Each structure stands twice: as C-alpha cells, then as structure tokens.
Chains A and B, each alone.
Chain A
C-alpha cells in the first residue's frame, strides 16, 4: 500500500515566523505524461471539515492567502506558511491522489500551534 507520512506530528511557531511541514510519499506521485505532482494540502480547524489549500503540489486553491505555498516533486513535498498568523492554528494534512487503483491516502496530520 502507498503510505504518506508527514513530519513533524506537531509544531509550535511564533507569530510572524515561518512554519514548514513536510510530506513524504512511499511512491512517486509525479505523472510523467503531464509533469504534474498529484499531491494536495488541506487545513482543518476544530469542528470544521478540511479545507483545500494547495493542489498539484504548488497551486493555491481559490481564496487561499499567498503566505501559503507548496513545493516539492516526486516523493518529497513541503507546505510553507511564510509569516504565521493566529488564524493559521490548525491541523494540516497532505494527500496523494495519484495511485491506481484509487486509494487517496492522507498523511497522519501535523498540528500547528502558536509558540
């Protein structure tokens, strides 16, 4: 089975500082025919459903602030929040959507809090 692993499990960052979350897939999610990485990032706040932040590894979803960015290719990816705001406190998940047959595995989540 394809496994998606995030690090760290939790992270405390000061307001205004940079937060970095890593995601690793056990198999490459880069599809050579279109050169796209089939990886997404989601933000989940307490009591709310997950919200899509980033897709194709680096494309921001509509309305997502530009302090959020995604990078990486193949098996290793990063979500960066350039200047942490109080409203960014949440759990962040990565997900790959490449696999066939369909699996759509999520990472275990990274809990981000204010230091």
Chain B
C-alpha cells in the first residue's frame, strides 16, 4: 500500500535552516504531484507548497514564499522541503501529501514535528 515517510524533524533555532525529506514507497513518485501541509499544535491545517510530477511547476503559500523551497528526486522516489530563515511560528507537524494540482489530498505521510525555538 502507498506509504510516505517523512524524515525526522527536530528542534531548530530561529533563523536557521532545516531540510525535510519524504520517501515514497509502493508507488512511482514521478507519476504524481506532491504537496507539503503543516499543522500547528492544537490548530488547523495549512497547505504550504505543491510540485508537479516532473518538478516543472512549483507553487507556495504566501506564508513561506521566498523562505521554503520544494524539490523532488524521482530517481530516489523522494520529495524534499528546504526551510530557511525559520521562525517560531513555523513550529508545526509537517506532512508530505500525494495529490494532484486542483485535486483532493489522497495520501498523507505520518508527519514530522519541527520546533523552532532558541
């Protein structure tokens, strides 16, 4: 069955960087668009970014535009999220999600916690 496994998050100081990865298994990553979504503690869900199946289309929420970059290596069946200039308000559980552009989010990873704190 479809599996998405995010890398370990952790505690990061404000202003620093962190790269998350998401390994896809039991399906061919190159066939699907992918998203990152985060969930702040006790609060709701927020879409962050989308990348098309071959990486030629990227899009970002205003809250992370210019700081976060999505990428993918289809040969490794892996999705990435490079997060720079992290802020305390970026503290959240981060999910990688399989889903098309303008489509529902069919499969979610288990999520990884990122805490931005000094």
Chain A interfacial positions (CB closer than 8 Å to B): 38, 40, 42, 48-52, 55-56, 61, 93, 95, 97-98, 100-109
Provide the B37-73 mask, 1 if CB < 8 A to any CB of A, else 0: 0000000111100100000000101000000000000
Can you show 30 pairs from A to B with CB atoms below 8 A apart?
A42-B105, A48-B110, A49-B108, A49-B110, A49-B111, A50-B45, A50-B108, A52-B104, A52-B106, A52-B107, A61-B104, A93-B44, A95-B45, A95-B104, A97-B103, A97-B104, A98-B102, A101-B59, A102-B47, A102-B50, A102-B59, A102-B101, A103-B61, A104-B35, A104-B105, A106-B45, A106-B46, A106-B47, A109-B44, A109-B45
Give B89-106 as 1s and 0s: 1 = Cβ < 8 Å from A's Cβ atoms.
Answer: 000000100000111111
Interface size on B, as a range, is: 20 to 34
B59: A residues at CB distance < 8 A:
101-102
In the assembled complex, B109 has its CB within 8 A of some CB on chain A: yes
Give the residues in chain B near A38, CB-CB below 8 Å.
102
Give CA–CA (A102, B35) in the complex, Å.
Answer: 11
Q: Find the A residue at minimum CB distance from B59.
A: A102
By Cβ-Cβ distance, the 6 closest A-B pairs, closest first, are A55-B104, A49-B108, A104-B47, A40-B104, A106-B45, A102-B59
Chain B's interface: helix, strand, loop or mixed, by majority? Answer: loop
A95–B105 touching, CB < 8 Å: yes
Q: Cα distance A105–B110 when bound, in Å?
A: 20
In the assembled complex, the Cα of A48 lies from the Cα of B111 at a distance in Å of 8
**Which residues of the partner chain A approach B106 to less than 8 Å between Cβ atoms?**
52, 55, 61
Give the Cβ gap from B55 to chain A, nearest Cβ, in Å.
16
Set of chain B residues within 8 Å of A40, measured between Cβ atoms: 104-105
Q: Which residues of chain B come closer than 8 Å to A61, judged between CB atoms?
A: 104, 106
The answer to whether A106 and B111 touch across the interface, beta carbons within 8 angstroms, is: no
For A91, the closest partner residue in chain B by CB is: B44
Nearest B residue to A49, CB-CB: B108
